[in-house]
Structure 1
Amino acid sequence: MTVDKRKVLSLEDRIPKIKEHRKRKANRRLIFLISLFFLLIILVIYFQSPLSHVANIKVEGNESVPDLSIIQESGLEKGDNIWKLDRKKIVQKLEEHQEIKEAKVKVGFPNTAVLEVVEYDTIAYVSTGTEFHPILENGLIVNHPEGEVPVSAPILSNFKENQILEEMAKELKKLPPEIVNVISEIHYTPKKTDKYHITLYMNDGYEVTATILSFSEKMIHYPSFVSQLDPKVKGVIDLEVGSFFKAYEPGEENGEGDGQEE
């Protein structure tokens, strides 16, 4: 029985190639295991070193609340393990702050913790006689006062921190800035028939009577309504039920007389 020489030669040619392939495969496996070993060593060293602990704390997105107050409120401290931070707890603490609407915690490599916050918008200010306290869009009055109030922000008078003020803040939030900026003062002037009654004094010289419940719905048309009036004749714009204008009588200019309904 004869053996096919071509088959013998073909097998002899393939054996070195198979050995070379196995050798390369073994080398790749060895390189992978060595790399994995060194990676594990590096990770162990990293987690045991100061690099894995918070060295820097950054605050982003805040305008009114100072960085230090936010950091203290979060409970985060330098030296905390950056990979063991209880982000949910930190966010919960930050959002308990009366001026912070939303919060996030991020990690910046290698050891920086970033506190991102979104503050409630300031809708208006309430005057205590000597100080101005911001009123937030959620109706809360900020504890710490501000020395000066922005010219464009309305001043609220006779309001208390309750549901009435909360509704007033919501209604102001619905209005565009160009209308809010025209309002100089908002006085809470409740009546027996309407506990939500308010009186506004505008920067353009008009007086407005309205009810908080329909305030934004009616006030959105203020520029259009005023454009139809004689700018030389000032008076009271009644937005309680419909929309009508009553000019000041002599002696009532700038609200000195009885320029509002009772």
Structure 2
Amino acid sequence: MDKGKIVALEDRIPKLKEQRRRKANRRLIILLFLFFTMIAVVAYAQSPLSHVKKITIKGNELLSTDEIIKITEISKNTNIWSVKKDTISLTLQKMNVIKQAKVSIKWPNTVMIEIEERNKIAYLESDGSYFPVMENGKVLKDREVTELPINAPILFKFTEGAILKEMVTALDELPVEVLNAISEIHYTPKKTDEYHISLFMNDGFEVSATLRSFSEKMIHYPSIISQLDPSIKGIIDLEVGSYFKAYELEADESEELEIENDKGEG
């Protein structure tokens, strides 16, 4: 064997020692880094620096920002590490107004809350006050509005129960343009129809209908009024078929005008 290629043991020992020393130094540096990182995290968690500094809320309209913050019980004394996102989301979603709530943390100390409110379908009139009615049929009695609402239909003579819920369901099925065309809806039951309603439209027409077929017929309202003279106001009867009766001709039922809807039905 070529003796020139043989490395003496005494020559290898210093190199092995140097390699071991370097590995030990690297381990020490890593351990020190982890140690000081843990110290920093613990110090941050225990200091005012980890307290919530900002709460950002998006998507709320009916609920004020202050109301939502109060419900979450988060304050500037709350430690960011103690914020229970899922618990807060569930608490918010128990409210009739809120359909969905998502809570997230934006480090180092911001809480973000994204709210999806239920659709406000109408307002319920009661003793001169108006209360929002949500898509699930719930009336928000703690949201009283004293001024006449103009951004949703107003319901008169309705009470909480099956009729109101059916009314809300029917309204929720209407296209936005038809829903926005309705000014007032009065519950006007008859002996022959406990589901009878009377509508007053923003364009000056009146609609007589029954809840049993209201949404499927009212969806054709734009087509119906396109066949009428806008200067002659009257009642559009959607109870059986579709008929128009001008106010000045009400006394003479023979003057009724049959209207065709989009499906070509009378």
TM over 0.5, shorter chain: yes
Shift of 1:86: 3.2
Map 1:151-166 to 2 at 5 A: 151-166=150-165
Query: Number of matched residues?
Result: 250
- Name whichever of 199-208 and 243-252 sits farther off: 243-252
Q: Could you tell me which residue of structure 2 aligns to residue 192 of structure 1?
A: 191
Q: Could you tell me which residue of structure 2 aligns to residue 40 of structure 1?
A: 38
Shift of 1:109: 1.9
Can you give the 5+ residue segments of structure 1 that lack an aligned partner in the other structure? Answer: 253-262
| C-alpha distance after superposition, 1:176-233 (max 9, x if no partner) | 2211111111111122333222111112222112222332221111101211223233
Give the counterpart of 2:131 among 130, 133, 146. 133
- Name whichever of 148-157 and 37-46 sits farther off: 148-157
Give the counterpart of 2:81 among 83, 88, 101. 83
Q: Is the 8 A contact 1:125 1:149 kept in 2?
A: no
**Secondary structure of the structure 2 residue equivalent to 1:213:** coil
Give the counterpart of 1:69 among 67, 70, 85. 67
Letter in 2 for 1:78: K
Rounded to whole Å, the distance in 2 between the matches of 1:70 and 1:107 is 16
Can you give the 5+ residue segments of structure 2 that lack an aligned partner in the other structure? Answer: 252-266
From the superposition, tell whether residues 15 and 219 of structure 1 become closer, same or farther in structure 2 (CA, over 3 Å).
farther
Rounded to whole Å, the distance in 2 between the matches of 1:243 and 1:97 is 41
Letter in 1 for 2:134: L
Map 1:7-156 to 2 at 5 A: 7-8=5-6, 21-143=19-141, 144-156=143-155
* Percent of aligned positions that are identical: 54
Map 1:177-256 to 2 at 5 A: 177-250=176-249
Rounded to whole Å, the distance in 1 between the matches of 2:4 and 2:66 is 84
Letter in 2 for 1:168: M
Rounded to whole Å, the distance in 2 between the matches of 1:49 and 1:42 is 10
